[in-house]
Structure 1
Amino acid sequence: MDTKAPSLLNAVPPYGHVIASEKWRNSSLIQSLKCGGVKTLFENELGVADFHLPNKSCILYVSECDIIAGNGYKRKLVRYRNSSSSFQELVLVENTRLSEQYFSAVQKFVVLDLGLTLLPVSGQTEASQLISQMVDGEGRENPFRSRSSSLLLDPLVLALVQHVPGVGRVKALALLQHFSSIHQLCNAAPDQLEHIVGQAAAQQIHSFFHKPTAAGS
């Protein structure tokens, strides 16, 4: 059981800095951050999270090795989702040649089952670039919001939303551009949906996400 001090679980680094778990100290990701001008503070007591950012986001990094090794990463993700941190929880997942065959299942688990935001990366270099963008964007209009919304528009998520009655490709795109996560879409009220897709479709979408399953009806 994690009993880390709340002050560490919710520690916010100053602008231009990242708090990283000690295990990342000698990684290529940290070296890339340094080259990009991001200063790193190391800490052993971040709980499950790997990184804390100045915009009150935290990151859990799922590598191709984590994915290929089995389902252990799922337990870690559940602990991450259930942590007592007040940060916005993001998940970076390596989508590589080796992990590609598992990626759709990982994405479904992270986005649909846990309601977390997933950002695919090709490796630690791309991850460091993404983290640098989020750190550099602090104090301006949050660039992560638009990036996360656009990344939800991948074929898997788009296809899932199009399975909702009354939602075609155009309405699915509009919904995913408006809501920053599938979790938000599932919990949207009819009046929140109506101005995006119209009254009839809004009622269908809301009923679809809130009706009992076929087995229980």
Structure 2
Amino acid sequence: MEIKPPVLVNAVPPYGHVIAHEKWRDSVLVQSLKGTGNVKTIFEEELGVVDFHLSNKSCILYVSETDIVAGNNYKRKLVRFRNANSSLQGIVVVEKTRLSEQYFPAMQKFVVFELGLTLLPVASQLEASQLLTQIVHGESKDNPFRRKSVSRLLDPLVMSLVQQIPGVGKVKARALLQHFCSIHQLCSAETHELEPIVGQATAQSISNFFHNPLV
């Protein structure tokens, strides 16, 4: 039996286009993209675990409300992508609804802290299509503000995520993000590196947070 690769590395569409897995052809997400006319969709059956490839060498791995409630299948999908050592940047788009909200904190910790991937929540496929359009055009080579536009998408989420650590409020979260260049650096920081920024008690709390098993 042939084992399919987790990522089709050479799938890089032209600017303003996305390559979508064939399974998305009749979805609300793709139909919404077609409706705007701002993003052209190319369909491909062999994308491995990836749902959408973007022109900036990044890709979308979509986790539906059903996926997150069902359990560990989505985790295997994301781990396969991360372990592929692809040159592509992985962006995990997850449906955060009333049904899946209770599972979101554990998923957030797994995706961002454990795997080092970017996580963006959406309420529906319609909102996901709007987000995808914004990323595609925000990352266009003709847009001189492309990096700022993506940062604006991510900053509120990252701040919110760091504030979930016990003892870390808005002020301490901002101080940590100003000191550490990435969430991965924050995860790897030793207690003595954290103490000058947030104090001994909070530094220990952060260390415990990252070393405790997922719930």
Which residue pairs with 2:151 in the alignment? Answer: 145
User: Superposition RMSD on alpha carbons, in Å?
Assistant: 3.2
Q: Deviations over 1:95-149 (max 9, x none)?
A: 0111111111111111122221110000101111011001111222322233112
Which residue in the other structure is 2:29 paired with?
A: 29
Alpha-carbon separation, structure 2, partners of 1:133 and 1:63: 20
Aligned partner of 1:15 in structure 2 is 15
- Partners of 1:87 and 1:125 in 2: how far apart? 25
Aligned match of 2:163: 158
| Counterpart contact for 1:16–1:136, Cα < 8 Å | yes
Give per-residue Cα distances to partners, 1:21-57, cap 9 Å, x unaligned. 1111110100111122210011112121101111111
Corresponding letter in the other structure for 2:196 = A
Change (3 A) 1:11 1:64: same
1:187 Cα deviation (Å)? 4.5
Contact kept in structure 2, 1:20 and 1:52, CA below 8 Å: yes
Q: Which runs of 5+ in 2 are unaligned?
A: none
**1:1-217 superposed matches below 5 A:** 2-4=3-5, 8-36=8-36, 37-137=38-138, 138-139=140-141, 140=143, 141-142=146-147, 143-154=149-160, 156-160=161-165, 163=167, 169-176=170-177, 181-187=182-188, 200-201=196-197
Counterpart CA distance in 1 for 2:57 and 2:120 is 17
Instruction: Please give the secondary structure, in 2, of the residue aligned with 1:9.
Output: coil
TM-score, structure 1 normalization: 0.78
Deviation at 1:185, TM superposition (A): 2.8
**Could you say what secondary structure the match of 2:111 adopts?**
helix
Instruction: Name the CA distance, whole Å, in 2 between partners of 1:94 and 1:177.
Output: 29
Aligned mates of 2:151, 2:10 — CA distance in 1? 21
Amino acid at match of 1:66: D
**Structure 1 unpaired stretches of 5+:** none
- Whichever residue aligns with residue 22 of structure 1, its letter is E
Cα pair 2:62 2:94 within 8 Å, conserved: yes
Aligned length: 200
